Amino acid sequence: MTSLRSQFGEWAVVTGASSGIGRAIARRLAAEGIALVLVARGAEALDAVASELRAAHGTDVVPLAIDLSRSGGAAELLAATSTLDVGLLVAAAGFCTSGPFIDSSLERELEMLAVNCRAVLELTHAFARRFAERKRGGIVLMSSIVAFQGTPWAAHYSATKAYNQALAEALHVELGPRGVTVLASAPGPTSSGFAVRAGMRMGRTVTSDDVARGTLAALGRKATVLPGVLSKVLTWSLAPLPRAARVRIMGAVMGGMTGQRPTSVSPPGVRGRG
C-alpha cells in the first residue's frame, strides 16, 4: 500500500466514486497521497466525497458528474483527463438488475450493459494505451463471484461481470510486459447499498472497505483477487463442482436473495428427494 504512488504516479481515476466500493477505494488512494479524478452520476454526492477527501488528506480531487451509461460519457471523461498524468484507473461504476430475465426492462438491461461493459471497454482501451506508452500504470476492473458461472435471477448481470473478468485476465498477460498491471476484483455480497438498487436481500456480507483494502493490496501481485473471507469461501467451495452444478447452486442462492422460487441444485437427470 505504501508504494502505490511510486508505482502508479500522482493521479488516479475512480468511477462509481460517490458510494460503495468506489468511494472506499478513493478514500484509501487519497490516504496514500494520490490525487483523484472522481466520477459518478450524482453531482451532490460526488462533491461531498471530494470535499471530505480534500479536508482529510489535503490531496487534489477533481469531481466529474458524468453518466457513463450515456453515449459519449466515457469520451467526456477521457477529454477531461487528457492533460493529467493519470497512472491508475479503477472502473468501479456498475449496477445490477435481478429477477426473471424475461420480465426485465430491455431499456434497463441496455443501460446496465453500457455502464458495466461498454464504458469499461472504452476507458480500459484508452487508458491502457496511455499507460503502455509511458510503460507504467494500473487498471482495476470490478468482477464478482457471479462471474465464474451463469447465475439465474441475475442472468445478465453475471454475464456483464464475466465480461470484465475475462477482459482483465487476458489484459493482465498482454499488458504486463509493457509495464501495465491489470487486476480483476471479484467480491462476494457487499454491504454497499448495491443490493437495495438491485432489489436483493443479503445476509452475511463484507464491507466496502474490506473490498477496497483487499483489492489495492493485490494490485500488481495477482490477476484476480477475491477480497474478503466470504468471497473466498463462496468461490472456493463451488470451484470443484461441474459448471452446470455451480449454475444451479448459484441460482438457488440468488433465488433466495431476490424472492424467487428456489432452483433445484440437482444435476440434470438426477431427481432430488422429497
Give the model confidence (pLDDT) of 58-87 as tens digits.
Answer: 999 999 999 999 999 999 999 999 999 999
Rounded CA gap, 198 and 189, in Å?
12
| Residues with catalytic function | 157, 161
Q: What is the pLDDT of residue 103?
A: 95
Task: Flag whether pLDDT at 200 surpasses 70.
Answer: no
Task: Flag whether pLDDT at 274 surpasses 50.
Answer: no
Give the model confidence (pLDDT) of 225-252 as tens digits.
Answer: 999 777 788 888 888 889 899 898 888 8
In this structure, are residues 14 and 22 in contact, taking their beta carbons and an 8 Å threshold? yes
Confidence of residue 195 (pLDDT cuts 50, 70, 90): very low
Nearest to 19 by CA among 127, 115, 68, 92: 92
Set of cell numbers at residue 181? 498491471
What is the number of residues in the chain? 274
CA atoms within a 13 Å half-sphere pointing along the CA-CB vector of 191: 9
Give the model confidence (pLDDT) of 106-134 as tens digits.
Answer: 999 999 999 999 999 999 999 999 999 99
- Angstrom distances, CA of residue 68 to CA of 16, 45, 117: 9, 16, 10
Q: What is the pLDDT of residue 262?
A: 52
